[in-house]
Structure 1
Amino acid sequence: MTSPSVPTAPEPFRFPVAARYAGMASSPLKDIFALAARKDVVSFAGGIPDPALFDLDVVASCYEWVLAHQGHRALQYGVSEGELELREQAARRLSRDLPTHASQIRVTSGSQEGLFVVAQALLEPGDVVLVESPTYLAAVQAFAVHGARMIGVETDDDGVVPEALDEAIRTHRPRMVYLIPTFQNPTGRTMPAERREAVAEVLLRTDVPLIEDDPYGALSFSGSTWAPIASLPGMSERTLLLNSMSKLMSPGVRIGWMRAEGSILDTLAVAKAAISMQSSVVDQLTVARYLETADLDAHVATVSAVYRERRDAMATAIAPVLPAGAHVTHPEGGMFLWASLGEGYDAQRMLADAVAAGVAYLPGWSFFADHPDLSSMRLSFVTHSPEVIEDAVGRLGEVIAQHGQR
């Protein structure tokens, strides 16, 4: 007599995944927010503003005014280009350094969507994009899923090296160059005016367009500001300049914009419509009202003063715990400090021990298009008080010391 066969469980259904997302079950950005949500860990991993610094009462009053005076319009569909009031306010702010008309603005749901719109509008599979080494990791992702190939260009403490950029352009014939000149993510460094002029000269001579990302530029600790590369002679027509309100007003609002000139404006609007039709109208009108009636500059100055104190706390705490030969940046603004521990250290392997000690950072390898520095880490100083920073960096120092002995 034969034993009855045991039925085998059917294989679970799996949707076919596009090749560009194959193997991407997670991402560094997803991991950032997971770490930030843990109550037992002081996270320096994400550039997450301290919610205590939000201009909550003023923002709430702007929402109330919009719903009371423009409620039916605010809750309706809008236009892909963005609501006129917001485009006018964005143009007004940009015109401080670069004459801009509202017609040259395209609204996005944060500068992150702006990067995706740019990639959708400009890139073909196989195109080369030159980026700083290291660069913003989510930009690499946005360009990569559109089939682009990123090439990292040599940098120093003043940003991308013009001679290296020139050589990379001649060697790789890129579709575009992507740069974050002011308070760069992840390093925090800023290109001085002379370096910006040298970079512009290379781009003008080689006729390569620039994607200039500037979400942090207003967060200056000294009061000094740097005009965008787009404002230099000849650069405005060949630059897509991205801005965001996420770091200045609120990341939850998800409103940013791009400045461009010429026929590309129509293409950007078409790409935006294909991705999301339009950004939230109620949020656009609220941001426009905020920019029209609130003193954003005063608010940013208050926030920047707090961030400066926290940068100083982190810089002071981390200096004595770094190994000999380590390199750490001292940003003049923004949200991030970048540390390279040097040969023999692997920041990814070290992370589990750091989290066990109650502190987290973002390993630097994910910010490189190629040839990553495995010893590097990005540390955000904006979320926590100086006292919390000092204590957590002390615990991180103990982990660094343990790995230095292995």
Structure 2
Amino acid sequence: MDKWRISQDGTLPLYQEIMLLTEEKIKSGELGPGTRLPSERKLAEALDVNRSTVIRAMEELTAQGVLIRKKGSGTYVNPDKWGLQTKPLINWGTSLTNGSIKRKSAYEKAADERREQRPDKILDLSRGVLPSDLLPELKAPQLSWKELVQQEKEQTPRNTGIHSLRESVQSYLEKTYQMTVPLEEIMITSGTQNALFLISQGLLKPGEAVGIEAPSYFYSLRLFQAAGLRIIPIRVDAEGMTVQGLKEASVNHPIKMIILNPIFQNPTGLVMSPKRKTEILDYCLLKRIPIVEDDAYGGLTFDASVDNSPLKKMDRQQQVIYLGTLSKLAGHHLRIGWMIGPQTILKELADIRLQTDSELSFLPQFMADHFLRTEMDEHQDKITTELQKRARSMETWLRAEYGDTIEFQPAKGGFHLYCRFPGKTKEEVDAILFKLLEENIIVSEGQKFGDQMNGFRLSFVNFMQ
């Protein structure tokens, strides 16, 4: 007990000093997973504080998932990072039609009207989906229906997806990111939102808090409200989600999970730096906060000097569930994605999928497998080159139109450019967006992504001069 010492200079409340000391002991390895802490009475004596102060510190760390308390046994370092549920927890009490979700801004209503009035004249830069001219050919193999059925029979049936597609995903990740993933840690999904739905049902409970970047497209997803989850915005800077913002959020809220989009983040286009990735991993390991990484755009990098390595590639402690998708490369009609994570977690989430939905259909998996094996390399190069051209054209147009009054970072990859007018009021920015609308150009307001700083997103994937 002689090593339990805190500062009592009044800089921080005593219970927070105890929390920080406990966390440091966990981080250093002095308190390993599953280790029993000294009793509250002994800690109070060693630290020369009231027992109630120790109790509050222990309760805060327990609420954050760092510690667990066993009645009649004591307090322990939490050995588990994921808090797995054994059955789906659908929150039937949360309506998707409540006013806060349904309510549209005046600009969104006007944009909807403009789409209806002049659908053939619209340049819709609000839609982050591949236009028809960038879709792949998706050549189907020359197989009869009978041969296709035989192919399905030959595939080893697994709740986590057909074997050959999982092999193709494994090869794609190795080729694109030099990231080696065991086959048993790959699960096929019907896209990112399907994966997030499974995670919300299997790893989270109604009322729990999930940290996301601010701004983020996750802010607009209805599935979080449907699951009864609380969304906690965490500020970002030029390197991505800030560790200080994450620390402040986790002190004020019992964060159960963070969901990140670190490479060409939607909507900002930011790329998280290697240093920041390490800091986020370290802090989340300390606080026992699992991470879900959405990597929709990492394969669309314009410059080889950009570090597009996933957070998952740096994960040595099974902290990260990684989500990938084909929709940004092959279009929404091929709704196939993948989830990379601990095998035990994937097995349980696959079981939940069977309880709430059904096994994935063989045909889209078969088509995705064929695309990855025969068309992906050539198509990925083609689409990346074209996206870079469109991004540069849009940047040139914006600079010509608004000069130095507009602020944005040149796109390094992905689909999106995020803009601000730092010297203008909200009313002035609104006037600019409505003027663009009169010219049949639609953008996405920043408030859709939780941004309160008058930003707006333009998807250069659809930019045609």
Name the TM-score class by shorter chain.
Answer: 0.7 to 0.9
Question: 1:353: how far off?
Answer: 4.5
Q: Normalising by structure 2, what TM-score? A: 0.71
Instruction: Report if the CA contact (8 A) 1:44-1:359 is conserved.
Output: yes
1:359 aligns with 2:441: yes
Residue 261 (structure 1) aligns with: 342
Aligned equivalents of 1:333, 1:297: Cα separation in 2: 17
1:204 aligns with 2:285: yes
Structure 1 residues 174 and 140: CA distance shift in structure 2, 3 A: farther
1:344 aligns with 2:425: yes
Aligned equivalents of 1:193, 1:319: Cα separation in 2: 30
- Higher mean alpha-carbon deviation, 278-287 vs 225-234, is at 225-234
Higher gyration radius (CA): 2
The one-letter code of the counterpart of 2:98 is A
Q: Among residues 388, 391, 405, which one is paired with 1:308 in the alignment?
A: 388
Question: 1:142: how far off?
Answer: 2.2
Aligned equivalents of 2:366, 2:448: Cα separation in 1: 36
Q: Among residues 346, 358, 377, which one is paired with 1:297 in the alignment?
A: 377
Residue 44 (structure 1) aligns with: 125
Q: Among residues 138, 150, 160, which one is paired with 2:231 in the alignment?
A: 150
SS in 1 for 2:333: helix
1:380 aligns with 2:456: no
SS in 2 for 1:314: helix
Q: Percent identity?
A: 24
Q: Normalising by structure 1, what TM-score? A: 0.80
SS in 2 for 1:283: helix
SS in 2 for 1:163: helix
Instruction: Report if the CA contact (8 A) 1:50-1:384 is conserved.
Output: no
Instruction: Report if the CA contact (8 A) 1:79-1:277 is conserved.
Output: no
Structure 1 residues 215 and 275: CA distance shift in structure 2, 3 A: farther
SS in 1 for 2:139: helix
Q: CA RMSD in A?
A: 3.0
Residue 3 (structure 1) aligns with: none
1:19 aligns with 2:72: no
Instruction: Report if the CA contact (8 A) 1:348-1:363 is conserved.
Output: no
Question: 1:339: how far off?
Answer: 0.8
SS in 2 for 1:21: coil
Instruction: Report if the CA contact (8 A) 2:185-2:346 is conserved.
Output: yes
- Higher mean alpha-carbon deviation, 113-122 vs 172-181, is at 113-122
Aligned equivalents of 1:172, 1:323: Cα separation in 2: 42
Residue 297 (structure 2) aligns with: 216
Instruction: Report if the CA contact (8 A) 1:213-1:243 is conserved.
Output: yes
Q: Among residues 329, 335, 340, which one is paired with 2:409 in the alignment?
A: 329
Instruction: Report if the CA contact (8 A) 1:181-1:191 is conserved.
Output: yes
Question: 1:94: how far off?
Answer: 2.6
Structure with the bigger RCO (C-alpha within 8 Å, sep 6+) is 1
Work out the number of aligned pairs and report it. 362
Aligned equivalents of 1:278, 1:229: Cα separation in 2: 29
Structure 1 residues 376 and 66: CA distance shift in structure 2, 3 A: farther
SS in 1 for 2:323: strand
Question: 1:39: how far off?
Answer: 1.5
Aligned equivalents of 2:102, 2:242: Cα separation in 1: 35
